[in-house]
Amino acid sequence: MKTFSAALLVASLASPLWAGGETASNPDAQVYFVNIQDGDTFVSPVKVVFGLSGMGVAPAGTEKENTGHHHLLIDRPPLGQGEDGADELSNGIMSDEHHKHFGGGQTETVIDLEPGQHTLQLVLGDMGHVPHSTPIVSEVITIVIE
């Protein structure tokens, strides 16, 4: 029984803990914040520039290999976690004050945030706002608004 348990543990660690939709992604792709870093302090509004390497940006609805469009998650758990985490990985990212869509292919935005700490995460979505089969996400960063 110990051997089976150990084999199961090794197999679970070797496989991804979460996966997105059906659209393939470049395994080397990265999405990141160009002009802000974890711990930065700003006065609102804040300009946020999105970076992407290994794939291209295309408007939502565009069916082209190795492309997607940006989503900015604000003040919520990391992609795939929280109340709707499992659904967003396979069914798409919702649109509300915590989930900003840039389906026009935008690569930057200006956000107005209240004073205090805020978390931000970038997510690349496919033509239908669904994270790729291997989701392309940035680290979650925390910024402070004075």
Give me the pLDDT at residue 140, please: 98
Give me the pLDDT at residue 19, please: 54
Kindly give the parts of the chain with pLDDT less than 70.
Answer: 1-21
Distance CA 135, CA 12 (A): 18
In three-state secondary structure terms, 5 is helix
Distance CA 76, CA 62 (A): 28
What is the tens place of the pLDDT at every residue in 106-136?
999 999 999 999 999 999 999 999 999 899 9
Spatial contact of 24 and 68, defined as CB atoms under 8 Å apart: no
Q: How far is CA 1 from the centre of its chain?
A: 39
Cα radius of gyration (the chain): 17
Reported pTM? 0.84
Give me the pLDDT at residue 1, please: 42
Give me the pLDDT at residue 14, please: 34
